[in-house]
Amino acid sequence: MRGAIRPAVSAAAALGVLAGVAAAPASAASGGRDEVRWSPLSPAAAGECTFPSKNVAAVPWALQRVVLDQLWRGGITGKGVTVAVIDTGVDATNPQLQGKVKAGPVLLTDPQTKKALPGGSTLDPVGHGTKVAGIIAARPSPATGFVGLAPDAEILAIRQNDSEGSGDVGTLIQAIDAAVAQHVQVINISQDVRASSASGAFADQGKLADAIHRAASQGIVVVASSGNDGKQGDTFPAAFPEVIAVGASDRNNERASFSQYGSFVDVAAPGVDMLSTVPRGGQCVDNGTSFSAPYVAGVAALLRQKYPRWPAAAIAARIEQTAQRNRRDRDDFTGWGVVDPVKAVTSDAPPATAPAPDPQTALASGSLVAQPLTLGETQADRDRRTATYVLGAGLLGVVLIGGGSVVLRDHRRRRTAG
């Protein structure tokens, strides 16, 4: 999050993906229409994930880096917080999501009837939105080691996109406004705009910025994925200043190779081999910044429960300030660092409006602390060494004299007795 909204910023590289890699040229894919698309990096695209799927007993690596008992200490579990998932729908039948998914609007229409697609927003034929929701709020289950970071949070499902990339900027704006109208506290957008023009700018860019501003002005924390093209350049809505732009990190807290990077990236979060819920039950593994964003949205839900009156900028600053950094300042690859859920939630620092670099060390600043240079032994060292030698020699002398006296006495006694 980078301060106040700027009007109609230039979209240098608005590449339009929901979970994935760069798609075909916009003119071929969209016929001149600005789209909000997805193109999965995931094993699911290769048929390795079926709905339903098996339960995975192991704790996924992205949760192994979190001590959940510390994270949820004091009952901070996301209770009372609603997170809007603007996506492909959220399947409400997965046992880890049952009873916590609210039905929002369906913003996709049948091209023939021009009516909303059937099934409601709690249907997810793609599975993408269900995975996103699970990372945020899946409840614990004895059948799996996977759980959401905010397991008591609720999800508002808004079905705005599909496997064909039917969503566009207009429906994304409608989705954001619908979330605001439902008084959610956090919005997750795991997608970005694909521009139809060669310049990279897109129609209704200013209107999308205004929708983000309307949400932020209500205290809603807006989180968006940075994109999966693996190149440098802004993506939207992540690059809008009032959004927490999230890139993907790997097990080494480095930028994942597919993660879009640039000055707009605020933080990174795990995005490689991400386990999460799928429609009708079970879990599957997927990859992409689409699954990094909800990791941050889950942390935002915990912070919103703990600090219900903080402005959205303060929630963002806490997440950024407490991130695990590879350097003292931000960089264009992981932003302010890789999010640290426990540190973000348990820190008692006062609210801030923006993150700050770590304190500069004396070595980094070039101001070295002077120390006396000693070559060899000092006079004090020599005095102590001499005293040690004298004491040791004295003790040895006492032992020798005492021992000699005993030997001489015994010798005399034997002679007298003989």
Which of 128, 213, 234, 340 is labelled catalytic? 128
Is there a catalytic annotation at residue 128? yes
Q: Which of the residues 30, 226, 259, 290 is marked catalytic?
A: 290
List the one residue out of 164, 126, 198 whose CA is nearest residue 29. Answer: 164
Catalytic one of 34, 87, 266, 286: 87
Cβ atoms of 278 and 131 closer than 8 Å? yes
Mark whether 259 is an active-site residue.
no
Told to judge if 217 belongs to the known catalytic residues of this protein, a careful annotator would answer no
> Active-site positions?
87, 128, 290
